[in-house]
Amino acid sequence: MLLKDKIALVTGGSRSIGRAIALGFAREGADVAVNYEQHPEAAKEVVQEIERLGRRAVAVKADVSDSAQVRAMVQQVLDTFGRIDVLMNNAGIVRRVPFLELTEEVWDRVVDIDLKGVFLVSQLVAQHMVMQGRGGVIINTSSVSSEMAQANLTHYQAAKAGVYMLTRGMALELAGYGIRVNAIEPGLIETDLNRVRLTDPAIRQDRLASIPMGRLGSPDDLVGAAVYLASDMSAYATGSAVRVDGGQTIWI
Question: Catalytic residues, which ones?
Answer: 143, 156, 160
From the list 137, 117, 141, 109, the residue with the least C-alpha distance to 219 is: 141
Rounded CA separation 93/106 (Å): 11
CB neighbourhood size of 96 (10 A): 14
From the list 121, 107, 111, the residue with the least C-alpha distance to 170 is: 121
Q: Distance of CA 91 to CAs 82, 178, 208, Å? A: 23, 24, 25
Contacts of 137 (CB under 8 A, 6+ apart): 85, 86, 87, 179, 180, 181, 182, 229, 230
In order, the DSSP letters of 57-101 are EEEEE--TT-HHHHHHHHHHHHHHHS--SEEEE---------GGG
Strand partners, 61: 36
